[in-house]
Chain A
Amino acid sequence: MSLTSAIFLPFFLGALIIFYVLPKKTRWFWLLIISLIFFSWSDGWKTLPYLFYGIVVTYFGARIIQRYESEKKRKTILFLTVFLSLFVLGALKETNFFIHLINGTGGLFGISPGLGMVNIIAPIGISYFTLSLIGYVIDVNRNVCKAQTNILKHALFTCYFPQLISGPILRYGEMENQLFSDHRLDLNNISYGFTRILWGFFKKMVIADRLAILVNTVYGDYTNYPGMYIFIATLCYAFQLYTDFSGCMDIVLGASEAFGIKLPENFKAPFFSERISEFWRRWHITLGLWFKDYLLYPLLKGDFLQGVGQKSKKLFGKKKGKNIPTYLGLSVVWLCVGLWHGGSVKYFFASGILPCVYLISSELLSPFFKRIIEVLKINTECFSYRLFSRFRTLMLMCLCWVFVCAQSFTDGLHVLKSMFTTFNPLILVDNSLFTLGLDQQDIIVVIFGILAVMVVDYMINKEINVRDFLGKQNFAFKCIVVWTQVLFIMFFGIMGASSFIYFQF
């Protein structure tokens, strides 16, 4: 069941009404029932065992860990639980990637392993709920939270339906009280929730699905659309991906808020990032935090990298030497992020290798850039420099997204070559852009939509609470904001077009 499908709203409304009619103590159980219905409806019954497997493994893993006092025993059970959870995720999501890798590597040495691709159906949301579950077990081991004794409550944490398909990735400690509390009816929550859902629909149906038409036209036939066409299509993809994923998150967070449950934010105006490291702190925030807390920190604090750090400090001096283990840790983390997006070489490269190269090289080259700024006496504290920095960050990310849009990694290289070897800027003024599937009205709608998103993001970037800001306005202004969105969705929304891009992960 897609969040923009015709059935979602009646399903959600029905679930919400029954939720508040039921006695308070039973409401969490109703959430579990509708979450399982949502899962089965979206994915069929056949993949339910994978969900149950994740629930059972982590439920017992966490309880056993809590029972032991011995650090060694706790670590053994933790390792086993994480392994059992990751094994299924890896087998379902990465098998074809590794087959592809083995075949490709064999080809380099003249050997033909000839392994055929396998057809495995992974359950929806497995990449998200597996990370949430592993985080929970690690938190129990770290004594950050207590193991849940009721397996049904643990099941609700795993498959709570608004976030089941595409996150955000949850922390048990942040969710426990919210999921299992009495959930008093608060009309503000419902009103805010619906406003946010509307904003999500606007982003997805008016902007993202419209931009998808242009992107698919160009990338589907990139040999006929070289140079500037690809540049424009990639830029459009940046906004398509952002409005698609953040729109999905708006619907998810809005739906959850209507039940009185606040989920963590996944975006914070990412296109206002001046540096690539900042971008990753503002984009898919819960994924970044997960990898930081559960992989990067343990790696950096582990004996191996601490040892490397001591040796590298002796070799390269304190300042440079202390960065070596950080770079090694970052490399491991980004390779894992690439695998998480995985299933194909292009995703591994675009979301693992390339961002890692960006981050490490930006750290390494930072003194060089500082020197250039000093020599050229560039003012870095003005609007134009900030604008330049933001554009630079966006362009670097666009380079990653070229590979995401392309059919394969090799295709991505061809697309890049095609983009940089054809000089055709005149297409911007000779109406050629109207041949890409969007007419003049579509382009005006898209520009208006993106401007609206950027205005909201500007406020978020300035730490202005958009909700409070809207709340303080007159009734007439609120009506205009809401009804503009409703009318845009009704007249310009592309209905039932596609699922969200991040569903596939």
Chain B
Amino acid sequence: MTREDVFQELNEVFQDVFDDETISVNDSTTSKDIEDWDSLEHINLVVSIEKRFKMKFTMGEITEMKNVGEMVNIILDRMVSK
């Protein structure tokens, strides 16, 4: 799966979790860019991403990742190590 493919699937997850079909994420997207992305919704998002990509984030990654770009890096890392 390429980085672009990951972003395409991520967009669907984001749109589904935040119930907003206009959302489109990129490397620099952060919680500040999406209105409902607060600390409570963050876990719902993470769990949905885990289900979609059939992988697990560590708790350290969940609390430390700074933007969607870092999220994609982790997803791609997991895919390589599978």
Please report A residues at the B interface, Cβ cutoff 8 Å: 139, 142-144, 277, 292-293, 296-298, 300-301, 306, 319, 322, 326, 330
Contacts and interface: CB of A to CB of B under 8 A. Distances in A.
Given A277-B38, A319-B19, A297 B60 contact: no
Interface in B59-81: 59-60, 62-64
Contacts of B44: 322, 326
B1 interface: no
A142 B19 contact: no
B66 to A, nearest CB: 13
A292 B39 contact: yes
Interface in B19-67: 19, 38-40, 42-44, 46-47, 58-60, 62-64
11 contacts: A144-B63, A293-B63, A297-B43, A297-B62, A297-B63, A300-B40, A301-B46, A301-B47, A319-B19, A322-B44, A326-B44
Contacts of B59: 142, 297-298, 301
8 closest Cβ pairs, A-B complex = A142-B60, A144-B60, A300-B43, A293-B63, A326-B40, A142-B59, A292-B39, A143-B60
Given A292-B39, A297-B63, A142 B47 contact: no
> Interface centre among A143, A319, A322, by most B CB within 10 Å?
A322
A288 to B, nearest CB: 9
Given A301-B43, A301-B59, A319-B19, 20 more contacts: A142-B58, A142-B59, A142-B60, A142-B63, A143-B58, A143-B60, A144-B60, A144-B64, A293-B63, A297-B42, A297-B62, A297-B63, A301-B46, A301-B62, A306-B47, A322-B44, A326-B40, A326-B43, A326-B44, A330-B40
Contacts of B19: 319
B21 to A, nearest CB: 15
B24 to A, nearest CB: 22
A220 B64 CA distance: 47
Contacts of B64: 144
A293 B63 CA distance: 6
Nearest to A293: B63
Nearest to B46: A301
Contacts of B58: 142-143
Interface residues of B, number: 15
A330 B39 CA distance: 11
B81 to A, nearest CB: 15
Contacts of A296: 39
A301 B58 CA distance: 10
B38 to A, nearest CB: 7
Nearest to A319: B19
Nearest to B60: A142
A306 B43 CA distance: 10
B12 to A, nearest CB: 15
A325 to B, nearest CB: 9
Contacts of B47: 301, 306
Contacts of A319: 19
A151 to B, nearest CB: 24
Nearest to A363: B40
Nearest to A305: B43
Nearest to B57: A301
A277 B36 CA distance: 13
Contacts of A292: 39
> Interface centre among B43, B46, B47, B59, by most A CB within 10 Å?
B43
A298 B62 CA distance: 10
B37 to A, nearest CB: 13
B41 to A, nearest CB: 8
> Interface centre among B40, B42, B46, B60, by most A CB within 10 Å?
B40
A132 to B, nearest CB: 15
> Interface centre among B42, B58, B60, by most A CB within 10 Å?
B60
Nearest to B16: A318
> Interface centre among A277, A292, A301, by most B CB within 10 Å?
A301
A415 B19 CA distance: 45
A298 B47 CA distance: 12
A139 B40 CA distance: 21
Contacts of A306: 47
Contacts of A297: 42-43, 59, 62-63
Given A277-B38, A319-B19, A139 B60 contact: yes
A292 B63 CA distance: 9
A409 B42 CA distance: 36
Contacts of B40: 300, 326, 330
A143 B60 CA distance: 7
B5 to A, nearest CB: 26
